[in-house]
Chains A and B, each alone.
Chain A
Amino acid sequence: MATATAVRVSAPAPAGAPRKKRYGGLTPWLFAIPALAVYATFLVYPALTSLFFSFTNWDGLSPGYDIVGVDNYVKMTQDPVVRQALLNNLIWTVVTIVVPVIIGLALATLLNGKVRGKTALRLLFYTPCVLPLVSIASIWGWLYNPDSGVINEVLRTVGLGNLAQPWLGQDSTALWAVMVPAVWLRTGFPMLLYLAALQGIPDELYEAATVDGATKSQQFWHITMPSLRPAHYIVLALSLIDSFKVFDMIYAMTYGGPGTATQVMGTWMYANVFQYYQAGYGTAIAVVITVIAVAVSIPYVLSQTKEHT
């Protein structure tokens, strides 16, 4: 009988019933208050504070500052490093999404089949995702060493010494050189998500397609890919947000250099807030990064909301 009572309580209110009653009154909000308090204190308040400081000339260290209106945002439009950083962000985002997603999908497809040692291989390909990023940056920094690094050594050994480069020491290659380890460490994430999604596709679909004479390629394009649509969406949305926020890998490997060749919005924000004592300008850059990241994530959040309402 208790079950029947519970069903009655949670059943939708009839049309025309007061809104308060239909949504359970204040009770749900009481349960949400702890989470809302934490959210407001540690996310909303700092975010609003940052927004406020983006309209000031605060140096990030002094007790005083002046409100300068939108000066910091105007300055951003005239800052050549911001233009370069945005371009670098764009290149970074495209490369570090497209390449890991393609490789991750290929690996997932391969490791979802009958492959010997596939558990070990899955672990192997996912391992870079859990390694400390600073360690990865240091290791790749050594690999790229122009004289003693393995990459140039291998090129020299196989007779391609003319391709050996100071990879991190010149504008033309530095950003691309940092993207290689980024791709390497990010491939495991889409692979894992695709693997989970692939295992949810019923075998019957493939069996039926085989009976109908579909080739493996046709099965991939007409069964696998459409079935992976939700996974594509999650992978792309999360990767996009993650890519635009890039900071750590570039900071650790090149420090934004040579010159400003590998500056991205995150490192340029950091330089201004923490090194140049221009916290007002730096927080304005942070606000722009946030706005872009939020804009990118809105479709994903909306889609997730629709699925669960």
Chain B
Amino acid sequence: MTGSWTRRGFLGLSAAALAAGTAACTGATAPSGGSNAGKTPTSNNLRLFTYEDDTTIGNLKTAVAAFDAQNGTTTRVDSLPGSGAAVYPDKLRAELLGGSGPDVWRIWGGQIGAPFVKAQQAMDLAPYYQQYGWDSKINTNAIAGMTFNGTKAGVPIVVAAIGAWYSKAAMEKAGISSTPKSYAELEEMNDKLVASGTTPVTLGGKYGWDIMRLFEYLLEVSAGPDLHDKLLTGAESWDRPEVVTAFTNFKKWQDKKWLPNGALGLDPSDVEPDYVTGKAAYTLTGTWTEAQAIQSAKKSSSDFGTFQLPTGHTPERHSGFVEGYMIGARSGNPDKAAALLDYLLKPDLQATLQITSSTVTGAEPDKTKLPLSYEWTEINKTSPFYTIQDQAFPKQQADQYFSVQSDVLQGKMSPADAAKQMQTVVSAMAKQ
């Protein structure tokens, strides 16, 4: 190994050697991690990149247009709806490599957003936190989810909670009158649903992350909050009975047909709405499903219900994650980009944007329009969350983790071997 190079240095050298045609490759300045703040803007054009759903992108565009009218900016909003954490970051990365990239982009926290900070593509927003007082306006836990090695590189807008969302009709058909209060009751409920001819939970494993929601819950049940957190950080070995129990239960869910047939190969976007159409009883998802799955299908929220998956531990936690916005380190106008973010964080605007799990105080969902999402506002007041596992692990390790889950469900790997294999994966991650 020789001394460190810079990619742009290499490109610059190559461009000089080739003399023509490639000079454009060296045109942009290197990411500076926040050093642009306060500089004279090079442009009043902004570009915002998001994965907003088709049902809400119109609201965002309208809000941004209003900001432009007030601030003399011209902001283009691009969206990649429904792409999910498996695809959207790739597109963002390609854009950043291909030029300066968007000025502002939406991204998940944890290990999904972290690479953009590590690569100095996202600005340190600490000066803007101070300028706009975001620390006092935004949920502290959510800010932690957008803080990377001490750098506040994102402004969280969503602190999402994963729980069970169910069809009341399916429950009634199975003779179920109340939601489960323990893991044992949840298993009993599943048996009743199968007996009534309904698939209990609908999840798709095509990209790994959807079916992961079940396993991480089972791990919370068997390991409890403290050990679960230590497992995610590699502070405790995965090769232990609690993890074996979680994998054993995971397999049980498939063997007892509590999951859709062939769940591993199903696309989450195809099967998750099955609880709305009546093919399944419930799914594991977040509050966005009320607007995007229930109400977009012209169904009434009153025909559906939601509950926190019972863990039997104190505190009773649920899976959760953070989403927010970052500002590009090469943005031509970071001050206006930050002003745009502050504008989007206004509580009344959050409601307009149909953000049902806002990080902003006073932006709770409207109880009359989104009653089920509102229930989660109440749950969140007493129930903390553990990091959803595709945000807890870097993508490569998350994929290996999904692969282990896949092997367990197919019977190719025993629960005990899966626990050992996971320890190997996590150990390798620690060495990197």
Contact = CB atoms under 8 A, between A and B. Distances in A.
Given A62-B120, A170-B410, A276 B266 contact: no
A254 B206 contact: yes
Interface of A: 37, 40-41, 45, 48-49, 52, 56, 58-69, 141-142, 144-147, 165-171, 174, 254-255, 257-261, 271, 274-278
B382 interface: no
A61 B93 contact: yes
B1 A61 contact: no
Contact of B121 (A61, A147, A260, A275): A61
A106 B372 CA distance: 60
B21 A41 contact: yes
A147 B261 CA distance: 7
Interface in B84-137: 86, 89-90, 93-94, 96-97, 115-116, 118-121
Interface stretch (B183-191, B213-221, B394-402): B394-402
A69 B1 contact: yes
Interface in B259-274: 260-267, 270
Given A61-B97, A257-B205, A45 B14 contact: yes
Contact of B4 (A48, A65, A258, A260): A65
B17 to A, nearest CB: 10
Interface string B1-18: 111111110110010001
Contact of A67 (B5, B7, B31, B93): B5
Contacts of B264: 166, 169-170, 257-258
B262 A169 contact: yes
A67 B2 contact: yes
B407 A63 contact: no
Contacts of A56: 5
Contact of A257 (B20, B97, B206): B206
A141 B268 CA distance: 12
B14 A66 contact: no
B22 interface: yes
A52 B10 CA distance: 9
Contacts of A168: 206, 262, 265
Contacts of B279: 147
Interface residues of B, number: 54
A64 B266 contact: no
21 contacts: A37-B21, A45-B21, A52-B10, A59-B115, A59-B118, A59-B119, A60-B93, A62-B7, A63-B30, A64-B5, A67-B5, A146-B266, A169-B266, A170-B262, A171-B406, A174-B265, A257-B207, A258-B205, A258-B264, A259-B402, A274-B90
A146 B261 contact: yes
Contact of B96 (A61, A171, A260): A61
Interface in B403-432: 403, 406-407, 410, 412
Given A56-B5, A275-B395, A41 B22 contact: yes
B208 interface: yes
Contacts of A277: 115, 119, 394-395
A contacts with B: majority SS: loop
Contacts of B7: 58, 62-65
A63 B265 contact: no
B43 to A, nearest CB: 22
Contacts of B5: 56, 64-67
B348 to A, nearest CB: 36
B6 A64 contact: yes
Among A49, A61, A260, which residue has the most Cβ atoms of chain B within 10 A? A61
Interface in B290-308: none
Contacts of A59: 115, 118-119
B87 to A, nearest CB: 9
A68 B93 CA distance: 23
Given A45-B18, A52-B10, A255-B206, A66 B262 contact: no
Contact of B406 (A48, A146, A257, A271): A257
Contacts of A65: 4-7
Contact of A167 (B8, B11, B265): B265
A225 B96 CA distance: 53
A165 B10 CA distance: 51
Among B120, B205, B270, B403, which residue has the most Cβ atoms of chain A within 10 A? B403
